[in-house]
Amino acid sequence: MKKLVVVLLLAAGAALTVTNSVAQKKSPKIDYVFPDAMAQPVRDQYLKLAEKGRVLYELSCAKCHNSLVKGKLLIPDFTEDQLGAYSIRVANPKHEEHVSESNVSAEELTLISTFLTYKKKNQPLLLINNGIAHQ
Amino acid sequence: MNRKIILFTLVALSTVLLLSFNNSSSTNAYTLIYYRYMNALTGEERDLLDLVNSSDLGNEAHVDKISEAIRSCRNRMKAADFWLRYLEPVSYKKINGPLPVEWETEVFEKFEKPYKREGAGLTLAAQYLEEPGGNKDTLARLIREAIAVMPVYGADSITRNLKDHHHFFLCNRLFLLNLAALYTTGFECPDTAAIIPELSAMLGATDSIYKAFNESFPETPLTGDYLRLYRSMQVFVQQQPRAYSAFDHFTFIRDYVNPLYRISQEMIRRYRVASRSMVDYSLSKTAASIFDKAVYNGSSAKGLFLRVKDTAVLNEIDRVGKLLFYDPILSGNNLRSCASCHKPTEYFTDIQQPANLRFDRKGALARNTPSLINAPFNHLLMLDGAHITLQDQTLGVMTNPEEMGGDAQQLLEKVLSCADYKKAFTRLLAYTPQEPEITLGHITSAITMYYSKFSRYYAPFDEAIDGGKSLPDDAIAGFNLFMSKAQCGTCHFVPQFNGVKPPFVSSEFEVLGVPADTAYHQLSPDQGRYKVNPAKETLHAFRTGSIRNGGHTAPYMHNGVFRSMKEVIDFYDAGGGAGKGLKVDNQTLSADPLHLSPKEKEDLIAFIKALDEKIVFEQPPVRLPRSKNPALNRRKVGGEY
């Protein structure tokens, strides 16, 4: 029970700091993890796509989704289900507007998905559930 | 015997599931009417199945009885259509599929392969019953499949929507769009005598849904204005003739459906309605009218420049896009530009010939050059839907060896050899931070943005049906025919009159049996959609184009075979290629003649001419940017052929 309260406090604290400083904080350097079976030329291509996705993520997603954990800016880890390309558009009421066709194109959504798929996962995982990040 | 056991199990299973419908904890008036309508439909579908099983299709009296039962069951379906179609569109195809097999590529599934959807249900059952020598098992299967999907509408994932007002207003928006585009045209209603009576019954049933909703959700009610107008629409429909060809489709939409849509959009905004469904993907919440060109998003004209909002920057993209549109630097031999075939003086098509010259000038291309005006209102581009974005389509033409014959890498180098282009795109790079360097995507995006601005104009028809301006009687008569007897509106859907129907998430393809020559010696050999998605149903299928500006975009059809609108209408009047005696096994257009009179044909043409948009065209640029490469500076504005 105590643990839960602490977690909730942390989450609330994180949410508060997010609104203040995430936007100003420079994004962390990204490492990518590609499957071993992926050949180098393919890997290079995916890296380019993922980097484009990273920029778009910063523009369209980071403001709500990045969080500060112990002073460190973290990009959360999304599950495969959450990254199901077109369903991102209606994942929640906010997305309906922020991730509409006129704000993020289908191609851009695919790039963002590529970025989040191959970005190295946090240790431990930082998952998003109902808009709240939790480890 | 086995079949019987399966059948029994199915029936038993659906009974159990149906009973569980009623165990819902929230039993407000709105939820009750939902279950009442769903259960009534399932019940009648079951009765219908029993009747089919106990009938003899060789006995005319039995067939009549089945036909009567289908009609009655359809009314139950129409009563629930408000929810059925929106809440689970895939299952709906089993209850009321318009075709036995449909190949779909929906906007949110653009990156997946088209997939096959087999239709079933009442429309197909009614059609099957009309066919001579029908088989009882096939008929029973069409109904059984409809029964089998009914439990979907009792599943938690669907019924949890009923707990708040959001889905209601989105169901209603789709309902209104379908009132304008589908419900009065006979789309999914093979018995034309039943169209208006069904409409009338449906409006009554939906009125009951409205009453229950307002009782259960007093915080977010349908407004008094809306309900008053809706009820006068019911009276209007009751006073109209029962024959859909005599029905006043024009007044119905102008005075009732579209004003209701306007109020509905206001309520959607005021009640902060949020969607959880992909069905709403393309629809705009801000467009007030069905005939507002922003009513849905088709393909993005902005491409890589999606995020640019600044007017000065948009003007700069427009300037560069225009230069590129006229610049033959984008072709392999620097002699051809976009404007060579999509002539800006001819509504961005070529009205001189059925098809333009091939790149090597040896003969003509296989297909007619389509007008670029209103291209952004499609989800799939090209007549075979080969491309999923306008920008891909542009690049596809530039690099097609038969069209502009360019090499992608060289094209980019040639463009950037011009200081004006290089400077402009270098500045614009700041607005596409995801792109580390200038790409062909920047070039194609500037081109699509340029030509797409000519798609934002309206026609006298729009000004009449939306703005209340007057329209000549023959054009109104033509629209009413278009929506009924001439059967045009079942494929060229309101409001764009193209193959994109509400909720505007996919592009439709049709097999018409277009001939290779006007003497109908043979079918056009062009395989159409088959080249992109090979299947029995897609052979010779083409994406349905818009008829807007039809008065200025002759010749017509994918191969430009018809020179006048009169020839096109005669072709449809005869029942397409199959009606003209060509062998077209998979024609989706009915092969039955329409029996249009000469006056009716003239009215149709008057209506199509009322769709000529008041487009403000531009003069070509005076000169093109100079290149570092002197050989390239001999190129002419617009190219040479």
The per-residue DSSP string of B93-132 comes to HHHH-SSSEEEE-BGGGTTS--EEEE--BHHHHHHHHHST
Range of lowest pLDDT (A13-22, B133-142, B406-415, B419-428):
A13-22
Q: Report DSSP state, residue B163.
A: G
Dist. CA B266–CA B545, nearest whole Å: 31
Is the model more confident about B513 or about B99?
B513
Contact assessment for residue B297 and residue B284, using Cβ atoms and an 8 Å cutoff:
yes
Using an 8 Å CB-CB cutoff, list chain B residues near A103: 306-307
CA distance A3 to chain B (A): 33
- Name the residue with tokens 């499609």: B378
CA distance A96 to chain B (A): 7
Contact assessment for residue B461 and residue B475, using Cβ atoms and an 8 Å cutoff:
yes
- Name the residue with tokens 């392999």: B332
- Name the residue with tokens 């509409």: A100
CB within 8 Å: B434 and A93: no
Instruction: Report the interhelical angle of B2-21 vs B29-53 (nearest 10°).
Output: 170
* B139 and B215 within one domain: no
Structure tokens at A9: 């406090």
CB within 8 Å: A90 and B111: no
Using an 8 Å CB-CB cutoff, list chain B residues near A96: 274-275
Closest C-alpha to B264, from B280, B248, B287: B287
pLDDT of residue B107: 66
Is any Cβ of chain B less than 8 angstroms from the Cβ of A107? yes
The SS3 of residue B148 is helix
pLDDT band with cut points at 50, 70 and 90 for residue B49: very high
Dist. CA A99–CA A93, nearest whole Å: 10
Over residues B192-227, the pLDDT tens digits come to 999 999 999 999 999 999 999 999 999 999 999 999
Dist. CA B540–CA B511, nearest whole Å: 6
Longest dimension (CA), chain B: 85
Task: Give the rounded percent of residues in chain A with a pLDDT score beyond 70.
Answer: 74
DSSP letter string, B535-591: -GGGTTEEEPPP-TTGGGS-SBSTT--B-SHHHHHHHHHTTHHHHTT---TT--S--
Q: How many residue contacts between A and B have a Cβ separation below 8 Å?
A: 52
CA distance B273 to chain A (A): 9
Range of the domain at A50: 2-134
Q: Residue B314: is its pLDDT beyond 60?
A: yes
Task: Give the rounded percent of residues in chain B with a pLDDT score beyond 70.
Answer: 95
In 10 A of CB A101, how many CB atoms? 20
Is the model more confident about A3 or about B637?
B637
Dist. CA B554–CA B353, nearest whole Å: 9
Dist. CA B153–CA A9, nearest whole Å: 41
Is the model more confident about A127 or about B352?
B352
* B346 and B251 within one domain: no
Contact assessment for residue B489 and residue B181, using Cβ atoms and an 8 Å cutoff:
yes
A57 vs A24, A111, B31, B285, CA distance in Å? 15, 9, 41, 25
Instruction: Report the interhelical angle of B122-130 vs B136-149 (nearest 10°).
Output: 170
Using an 8 Å CB-CB cutoff, list chain A residues near B278: 86-87, 89-90
Q: Report DSSP state, residue B7.
A: H
Give the one of A55, A102, A111 whose C-beta lies nearest to B433's C-beta: A55
Would you tell me which residues 59-78 of chain A have a C-beta closer than 8 angstroms to some C-beta of chain B? 59
Dist. CA B483–CA B598, nearest whole Å: 18
CA distance A84 to chain B (A): 11
DSSP letter string, B412-426: HHHHHTBHHHHHHHH
Q: What are residue B480's DSSP bridge partners?
A: none
Residue B291 lies in a domain: no
Dist. CA A3–CA B420, nearest whole Å: 63
Q: What is the mean pLDDT of chain B?
A: 94
Beta-carbon contacts of residue B625 (< 8 Å; ≥ 6 apart) = B323, B327, B418, B419, B420, B421
Q: Which of B456, B487, B518 is the last residue in one of the domains?
A: B456
* B262 and B137 within one domain: no
Q: Which of B163, B196, B231 is the last residue in one of the domains?
A: B163
CB within 8 Å: B434 and A86: no
Query: What per-residue string of b and e applies to B436-464 under the rule 16 or more CB within 10 Å gives b?
Result: eebbbbbbbbbbbbbbbbbbebbbbbbbb
CB within 8 Å: B277 and A90: yes
Give the one of A85, A90, A105 whose C-beta lies nearest to B276's C-beta: A90
Contact assessment for residue B108 and residue B281, using Cβ atoms and an 8 Å cutoff:
yes
Using an 8 Å CB-CB cutoff, list chain A residues near B388: 106
- Name the residue with tokens 């809706």: B230
Closest C-alpha to A65, from A91, A31, A47, A84: A91
* B26 and B6 within one domain: yes
* B150 and B231 within one domain: no
Q: Report DSSP state, residue A27.
A: P
Q: What are residue A77's DSSP bridge partners?
A: A127
Of all residues in chain B, the one with the smallest CA distance to A58 is B434
Residues in chain A: 135
* B90 and B62 within one domain: yes
Contact assessment for residue B550 and residue B483, using Cβ atoms and an 8 Å cutoff:
no
Using an 8 Å CB-CB cutoff, list chain A residues near B303: 105
Residue B363 lies in a domain: yes
Beta-carbon contacts of residue B9 (< 8 Å; ≥ 6 apart) = none
One-letter amino acid for residue B479 of the chain:
F
Over residues A41-92, the pLDDT tens digits come to 999 999 999 999 999 999 999 999 998 888 888 899 998 888 876 788 888 8
Query: What per-residue string of b and e applies to B495-533 under the rule 16 or more CB within 10 Å gives b?
Result: bbbbbbbbbbbbbbbbbbbbbeeeebeebbebebbbebb
CB within 8 Å: A106 and B111: yes
Range of lowest pLDDT (A47-51, B101-105, B466-470):
B101-105
* B185 and B116 within one domain: no
Q: What's the Rg (C-alpha) of chain A? A: 15
Beta-carbon contacts of residue B489 (< 8 Å; ≥ 6 apart) = B181, B185, B187, B482, B483
Q: How many CA atoms lie within 13 A of A49 on its CB side?
A: 19
Task: Give the rounded percent of residues in chain B with a pLDDT score beyond 90.
Answer: 89
Q: Which residues of B touch A (CB under 8 A)?
A: 107-111, 274-278, 280-282, 297, 300, 303, 306-307, 388-389, 433-436
Dist. CA B534–CA B527, nearest whole Å: 9
- The mean pLDDT value for B535-551 works out to 96
Beta-carbon contacts of residue B557 (< 8 Å; ≥ 6 apart) = B368, B512, B514, B568
Give the one of A56, A101, A103 whose C-beta lies nearest to B434's C-beta: A56
Measured in degrees and rounded to the nearest 5, phi and psi for residue A6 equal -60, -45
Give the one of B109, B274, B435 whose C-beta lies nearest to A93's C-beta: B274
Q: Residue A10: is its pLDDT beyond 50?
A: no
* B543 and B442 within one domain: no
CB within 8 Å: A89 and B281: yes
CA distance A2 to chain B (A): 34
> Angle B423-B428-B433 (CA atoms, 0-180°, nearest 5)?
130
CB within 8 Å: B278 and A90: yes
CB within 8 Å: A108 and B389: no
Q: Residue B276: is its pLDDT beyond 80?
A: yes
- The mean pLDDT value for B65-89 works out to 97
Q: Residue A25: is its pLDDT beyond 60?
A: no
- Give the ranges where B242-337 is alpha helix by DSSP (H): 249-251, 258-270, 311-325
pLDDT band with cut points at 50, 70 and 90 for residue B26: low
Q: Residue A126: is its pLDDT beyond 80?
A: yes
Q: Testing the interface with B: which of A27, A102, A103, A115 to mutate, by most B Cβ within 10 A?
A: A102
Q: Testing the interface with A: which of B296, B434, B445, B506 to mutate, by most A Cβ within 10 A?
A: B434
Range of lowest pLDDT (A25-29, B72-76, B146-150):
A25-29
DSSP letter string, A96-114: HHHTSTTTS-HHHHHHHHH
Over residues B385-439, the pLDDT tens digits come to 999 999 999 999 999 999 999 999 999 999 999 999 999 999 999 999 999 999 9
> Angle B93-B96-B102 (CA atoms, 0-180°, nearest 5)?
45
Give the one of A56, A87, A106 whose C-beta lies nearest to B110's C-beta: A106
**Exposed/middle/buried for B621, CB within 10 Å: 0-12, 13-18, 19+?**
middle
Q: What's the Rg (C-alpha) of chain B? A: 26
Structure tokens at B357: 């010259």
* B413 and B273 within one domain: no
- Give the ranges where B399-534 is alpha helix by DSSP (H): 408-416, 419-428, 440-452, 460-465, 473-482
Structure tokens at B53: 């099983």
Range of lowest pLDDT (A26-35, B6-15, B203-212):
B6-15
Dist. CA B117–CA B149, nearest whole Å: 14
Q: For chain A, what is the domain count?
A: 1
Q: For chain B, what is the domain count?
A: 4
Using an 8 Å CB-CB cutoff, list chain B residues near A101: 281-282, 297, 300
Measured in degrees and rounded to the nearest 5, phi and psi for residue B456 equal -95, 10
Range of the domain at B226: 164-281
pLDDT band with cut points at 50, 70 and 90 for residue A14: very low
Dist. CA B176–CA B262, nearest whole Å: 10
* B200 and B157 within one domain: no
Using an 8 Å CB-CB cutoff, list chain B residues near A111: 434
What CATH number has the domain bearing residue B440?
A: 1.10.760.10
pLDDT of residue B109: 65
* B437 and B332 within one domain: yes
CA distance B612 to chain A (A): 28
Residue B632 lies in a domain: no
Contact assessment for residue A125 and residue A77, using Cβ atoms and an 8 Å cutoff:
yes
Beta-carbon contacts of residue B589 (< 8 Å; ≥ 6 apart) = B491, B510, B511, B512, B513, B572, B575, B576, B578
Q: Residue B639: is its pLDDT beyond 80?
A: yes
* B153 and B222 within one domain: no
- The mean pLDDT value for A30-49 works out to 94
Of all residues in chain A, the one with the smallest CA distance to B433 is A55
Residue B335 lies in a domain: yes
CB within 8 Å: B306 and A104: yes
